[in-house]
């Protein structure tokens, strides 16, 4: 009697084992799929001139719009170039230089504000901007990593005018997801700097 009871239990265990082995078979080369991102359709590069009531002019893309900065502490000729499709803003702040001391302070502030991102940045590179024929000089800061701002710069004629720019995305900074858009907008910033003139 005892032998007859054990036989069905053995068959049951063998059937379960066979099912488990069959379920574990198949493709041994399985690996998880990489994280996916939305496909980004970039607009055609096309530029127009900014020539409003400020002491400077430059070219900016037609798929962006220039708006006056509406912050409480904003000064005249503080502008924001909005990139609505990419949820990004290039903040521009203009200052009229009144003394050599003030000029030195503005340059030092630009340096401090760029290096404020050191905590999240993997590197910060400085590039010299110099167009002597237009009296446009400055420094371009390339900020790599998951910093809030990926590109900052200042432009000056060293005597009367100073303009600072800072590019921000209105979302959590994740370089792996914004890199294609960042590269696209950086080309627009380059065009803006190369076409920049003081009035």
pLDDT score of 29: 62
Supply the pTM of this predicted model.
Answer: 0.77
Calculate ∠ Cα 70-73-75, nearest 5°: 75
Q: Where are the domains of the chain?
A: 47-198
Each of the 199 residues of the chain gets a pLDDT tens digit; together they read 454 555 677 777 778 777 776 666 655 566 666 666 567 789 999 999 999 889 999 999 999 999 999 999 999 999 999 999 999 999 999 999 999 999 999 999 998 888 877 667 788 899 999 999 999 999 999 988 887 788 999 999 999 999 999 999 987 767 667 888 999 999 999 999 999 999 9
Helices (H), 49-174: 100-115
Q: Rounded distance, CA 121 to CA 157, Å?
A: 29
Q: Rounded distance, CA 140 to CA 148, Å?
A: 16
Give yes or no for a contact between 81 and 167, defined as CB atoms under 8 angstroms apart.
no
The correct answer on CATH 3.40.1000 for the domain covering 47-198 is yes
For residue 11, the tally of other CB atoms under 10 A from its CB is 10
pLDDT score of 178: 81
């Amino acid at each position: 009697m005892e032998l007859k009871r054990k036989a069905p239990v053995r068959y049951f265990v063998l059937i379960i084992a066979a099912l488990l082995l069959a379920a574990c078979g198949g493709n041994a080369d399985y690996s998880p799929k990489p994280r996916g991102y939305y496909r980004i359709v970039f607009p055609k590069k096309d530029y127009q001139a900014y020539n409003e009531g400020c002491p400077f002019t430059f070219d900016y893309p037609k798929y962006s719009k220039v708006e006056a900065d509406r912050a409480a502490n904003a000064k005249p000729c503080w502008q924001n170039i909005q990139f609505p499709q990419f949820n990004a803003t290039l903040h521009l702040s203009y200052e009229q230089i009144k003394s050599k001391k003030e000029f030195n302070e503005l340059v030092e502030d630009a340096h401090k504000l760029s290096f404020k991102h050191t905590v999240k940045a993997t590197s910060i590179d400085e590039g010299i901007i110099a167009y002597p024929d237009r009296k446009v000089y400055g420094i371009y800061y390339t900020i790599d990593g998951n910093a809030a701002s990926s590109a900052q710069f200042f432009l000056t004629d060293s005597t009367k005018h100073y303009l600072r720019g800072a590019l921000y995305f209105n979302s959590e900074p994740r370089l792996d997801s914004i890199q294609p858009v960042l590269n696209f907008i950086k080309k627009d910033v380059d065009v803006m700097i190369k076409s920049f003139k003081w009035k």
